[in-house]
Amino acid sequence: MYLQELHIQNLRVFAEASATFLSPERARGAEERNAEERKPEYPNLNLVLGNNGTGKSTLLKAIALACLGPLAEKFSPYLLVRRSGKPTPRKRASAIVATGLPEDRAVVRARFQCTWQDVGEKKPSDTSAALAWAFHINRTGDEESVELLYAPKGEVPEATRALWAPIHQNSSPAFLTVGYGATRRVDTDPNAPTPAQRLRTLPLRHQRIQSLFTEGYTLVPLGHWLPQLKARNPGRFKQVFHRINEVLPGDIRFTDRLDGTGEYLFEQQGARVPFAALSDGCRAYIGWVADLLYHICFGCPSGVKLVDNCGIVLVDEVDLHLHPDWQRTVLPRLAQAFPRLQFIATTHSPIVVGTLQRGNLWVCEPAPDGNGSVLAQKETGVHGLNADQILLTEYFGLKTSRAAPKERQLDRIAAAAERKVPGQGAAFLRSLVTPLEDEDPHD
Amino acid sequence: MISYPISHAQLRDAIRARDAQWLAKARRATAACVAAGKYVKEDADGKTIDGLWGDIKEVFIRLQHGKCCYCERLLESPAFGRIEHDVEHYRPKSRLRNWFTPAVKAAFPDWPAALGQSGAQAKGYHRFAFDPRNYATSCKTCNSTLKSDYFPVAGTPKLAAASPAGAKREKPYLIFPVGDGDEPAESLIQFEGVLAQPVHAADTDLFRHWRARVTIRFFRLNRTAPEGTAGTAEGRENLYRGRAEALSALADCLDAIETSSNVALLEARQEKVERLTAPASPHTNCCRSFLRLWAEPATRAQAVALWLAAETYLQSQQL
C-alpha cells in the first residue's frame, strides 16, 4: 500500500492542509518527457520539514492512523483535535461556518494505492487498486475517539470493507505500515518483551506505529529474532544481512556474529563492537532499520524477496543523532535498499534536505491567514546546495547568518559601488572580515 | 557576466548537430502555442511539448563553457551537468510577475522618473517558448530562485512580437548574454574587486547605467536583496568567494611576471593570465576588470589594495 493523497482538517496545528505523496508505483507509471528532470531521482522518498510546532509529527500520526484502516477505531487518540483558544459560543459558530465542521471534530481523508500484497496475491505483480478512506476524530469533553467513515465521497462501503479485510490478519503482508517516533529506542535488555508478548496489550499493527505516539516505546532488537531466522530460513537471513549493510555507511559493517550475551557484533574501524556499545547515532539508526526488517520478514510470503515488499515507512526526525556525513547519504541509501517501500520522513537537517529534489519535499509552515499551519511545496529546489545555502532558502527561512548592522554596512558599500562611488571594492572585502567593534572609525 | 556571441545560423547548426529533429519539433510546438494564443504544455494531438528545450541543453552548456550565464559560476560539464544547469527562458513563456514591488522601489532611492517600470501580465512570451534565441543555461539559484517569471522592462512588454529582435523596443532591463541579440555584457557591467558595477555613469548613459544596476540587483550579483523579495537578505557569499579566489590567482601571476627571470616560468604565467581571463574560466568579467586596473599605472595602487583585501578575506574563510 502507498499513500497518494492526504487531506486533514482541524487536526492539532492544522486547520486545513493537504498533500500528495510520491510513491514507487506512481513514479513508474508516469511517462513524461525529459524524465530525468521531471521524475525525482528517488521516487519513494517524501521528506517533511518545518519549524518546531508546525505539525510534522502530527502529520505522521495522521498518516499512521489512516494506514490502520478499520483498526484505527481501537486506537485512543490523545489531544489530536484542534483546540483554538477558548471556545466562546460565537467562535464555535464561526468555526463551523469557516470549515463546515463543529469545533470538536478532526477529519482525515486519505487516498491509497493498494498493491499485489494488499489484495491477496502471493507474488509481486503490477496489480493496483485505489482505496479511498476517511475517519473523524471526535472530542467529547477530555476524550477523543476515532469514528470510521466507510464510504467517503460516494464509494461503496462494502467494497471498502472488503479491501481492508486482510488487515485483521496479523500474518498478512497486506497494508504494511511501520512508524518511528523521535524518541524511538531499542531495549537492549535481553528480557525485554517480544512483539508476541506485547500482543496481549497491543495489536501487532498498532505496535508497528506505537513509537510515533508513545515516548520511549521500544523497538524489536535484532537478537530477538534474527538468530532464529538464520536457523530457519538462511536465504532470507542473507537478505536481511545485505539490507542492513546496504543502509550503513562504509565505515561500519554488520557482521552475522553474536557475542557471548547474544548481541550482534558490528565492525567499526577494525574493531568488533556489540550493538549496545555502538554510538547513540548508530543505535538510533540501526535500531529502527532492524525493526523495519523484522516487520517486513514477519509477513513476507515465502518465495518473495524482501526488497519486493511494498508498504509505508514513517520516520520522525530521520537525521536523529546522525553525523553530518551520514546525513548526506541516509535517505539515498534507504531509497535504494528498499525501492518498493514508500518513505515519509521528517527532518530539521539542511544536509538531509539537500539530498533530495523539489518534488520530494513538503514544508509545514504557518498558514498565510495566520490560522495554524499548512503544507506547502516550493517552486525552487535545493538539491545539491550546501547546508549554509539551504538554511537561507525558503525551506528553512533563516534570513542571514550575519548580524543585522553588519548586513546594513555591506549593503551600503555594495550600493555605493553600484552607483560608481570609487574605492568600494576594497572597503567591501575589508568589511566582510572586520568585526563591527574592531572597525577603524576613520575608515 | 560576459557574453557568449553566436549568430542565429550558427546556433541552429549547433542544435541540428545535437538533435536533427529538434528545430522541426520546436516549430510545431511554437505553432501550437500561437494557435492557443498562450503557452501550452501539449500540442493539439495531446503530445507533450513542455520541456522540449531540455533536449538541447548541452548546446548551451558547451557554448557557455559550463558557466551560469548570469553569475558566471562554473557548474558541471555537459556529461554531468544536466541536473545542475537550467534552461533559462530570458523572456518568460507563460506569465510575467511584477518585479518592481514597493520593496524593490524603496531599494532604489535614486531611480530616475524618466525610466519606466513594467508590471505583471497574465500571459508571457509564448511565441518564444521554443525559440532558441530566448535560451541560455543558468544555475538554479539564478533561474529558479531569482529569475522566476520576472522580466522587468522600461517600455511596454511586446508580448505579441514575432521574434526576439522585434521585442527589443520594449527595452528590457536584464542583460541577455547569449547570441547576438543584446550588446556585450562587459560593455554594461564591470567589477571593482568582487563587486559588480555599471560601466556607464547615470549622467552619461542613463538607460545603460540602469540596465546594469537592475541586472546586478536582480541576480544579487553583489548582495543587497531588498526585503520581501525572493531569496534572502544575505549576499551570495559563494560568488564573492569565487571571485576573490580568481582575482587572487590572477594577481599572484601578474606580480610574478614582473619579477620573473626564468623564461619558461614567465611563459607559463603569461599563459595562465590568458586562461584566467578567457571566457572558459569562472568570473571572467571580474578577472578582466582587475587586469585592466593592474595594467594601468594610474590604477595599479588600487589593484594592489584590492588584491591584499581579497587575500585577507580568503584567509578569513578558512575553517
SS3 readout for A63-78: HHHHHCHHHHHHCCCC
B-chain CB neighbours of A383 within 8 Å are 83
What is the rounded distance in angstroms from the CA atom of residue B260 to the CA atom of residue B228?
52
pLDDT in tens, A107-117: 999 999 999 99
pLDDT at B319: 46
What does each C-alpha distance from A72 to A57, A137, A204, A215 come to in angstroms? 17, 10, 13, 19
The beta strands (E) that lie in B124-281 are given as 135-138, 189-192, 195-198
The answer to whether residue A150 neighbours chain B at the CB level (below 8 Å) is no
Contact A419 B313 (CB under 8 A): no
- The DSSP H or E segment spanning A245 is helix A234-247
The alpha-carbon gap from B315 to the nearest alpha carbon of chain A, in Å, equals 9
Strands A45-50 and A341-347: parallel
Instruction: Tell me what percent of the residues of chain B surpass a pLDDT of 90.
Output: 79
- For chain B, which residues score pLDDT lower than 70? 224-235, 318-319
Residue (of B219, B287, B246) closest to B69 by Cα position? B219
What is the rounded distance in angstroms from the CA atom of residue A405 to the CA atom of residue A411?
10
3-state helix, strand, coil in chain B (%, to 5): 50, 10, 45
Contact A400 B233 (CB under 8 A): yes
Exposed e or buried b per residue across B62-79, where buried means at least 16 C-beta atoms within 10 angstroms of its C-beta: bbbbbbbbbbbbbbeeee
Out of B197, B305, B308, closest to residue A417 by CB: B197
pLDDT at A29: 43
- Nearest 10 degrees: CA dihedral of A98, A104, A106, A107? -70
Helix or strand or coil: residue A347?
Answer: strand
- For chain A, which residues score pLDDT lower than 70? 25-38, 84-103, 152-154, 398-403, 437-443
Contact B312 A400 (CB under 8 A): no
The alpha-carbon gap from A227 to the nearest alpha carbon of chain B, in Å, equals 44
Out of B52, B193, B237, closest to residue A428 by CB: B193
Cβ–Cβ < 8 Å for B11, B186: no
CB atoms within 10 A of CB A267: 14
The alpha-carbon gap from B129 to the nearest alpha carbon of chain A, in Å, equals 16
The answer to whether residue A429 neighbours chain B at the CB level (below 8 Å) is yes
Residue (of B66, B135, B6) closest to B281 by Cα position? B66
pLDDT at B230: 44
Residue (of A410, A413, A417, A431) closest to B191 by Cα position? A417
Rounded to the nearest angstrom, the gap between the alpha carbon of residue B213 and the centroid of all alpha carbons in its chain is 13
The alpha-carbon gap from A439 to the nearest alpha carbon of chain B, in Å, equals 15
Helices (H), A124-232: 157-164, 195-198, 204-207, 226-232
C-alpha grid cell for residue A126? 503490477
C-alpha grid cell for residue B239? 560568488
Question: A291: buried, middle or exposed (CB in 10 Å: 19+, 13-18, 0-12)?
Answer: buried
What is the rounded distance in angstroms from the CA atom of residue B12 to the CA atom of residue A239?
53
What is the rounded distance in angstroms from the CA atom of residue B243 to the CA atom of residue B191?
10
Q: Is the ipTM of this complex over 0.90?
A: no
- Give the residue from chain A lying closest to B149, CA to CA: A379
Contact B192 A417 (CB under 8 A): yes
- Give the residue from chain A lying closest to B110, CA to CA: A419
What is the rounded distance in angstroms from the CA atom of residue B135 to the CA atom of residue B158?
18
Report angle CA A242, A248, A254 to the nearest 5 degrees.
55
Exposed e or buried b per residue across B305-316, where buried means at least 16 C-beta atoms within 10 angstroms of its C-beta: bbbebbbbbbee
Question: A204: buried, middle or exposed (CB in 10 Å: 19+, 13-18, 0-12)?
Answer: middle
pLDDT at A33: 40
DSSP A166-184: GGG-TT--TT-EEEE-TT-
Helix or strand or coil: residue A428?
Answer: helix
What is the rounded distance in angstroms from the CA atom of residue A333 to the CA atom of residue A325?
13
CB atoms within 10 A of CB B131: 21
Out of A34, A400, A428, closest to residue B51 by CB: A34
Prediction pTM value:
0.58
The answer to whether residue A418 neighbours chain B at the CB level (below 8 Å) is yes
Question: For chain A, what is the total number of helices (H) and then of strands (E)?
Answer: 16, 16
A-chain CB neighbours of B312 within 8 Å are 429-430, 433
What is the rounded distance in angstroms from the CA atom of residue A334 to the CA atom of residue A292?
11
Cβ–Cβ < 8 Å for B4, B177: yes
B-chain CB neighbours of A419 within 8 Å are 110, 202
Exposed e or buried b per residue across A332-362, where buried means at least 16 C-beta atoms within 10 angstroms of its C-beta: ebbbebbebbbbbbbbbbbbbbbbbbbbbbb
What is the rounded distance in angstroms from the CA atom of residue A114 to the CA atom of residue A130?
6
Spell out the residues 6+ positions from residue A103 whose beta carbon is closer than 8 angstroms to its own: A10, A82, A84, A87, A91, A92, A95, A96
- Give the residue from chain A lying closest to B84, CA to CA: A384
Contact B193 A426 (CB under 8 A): yes
Report angle CA B283, B284, B290 to the nearest 5 degrees.
95
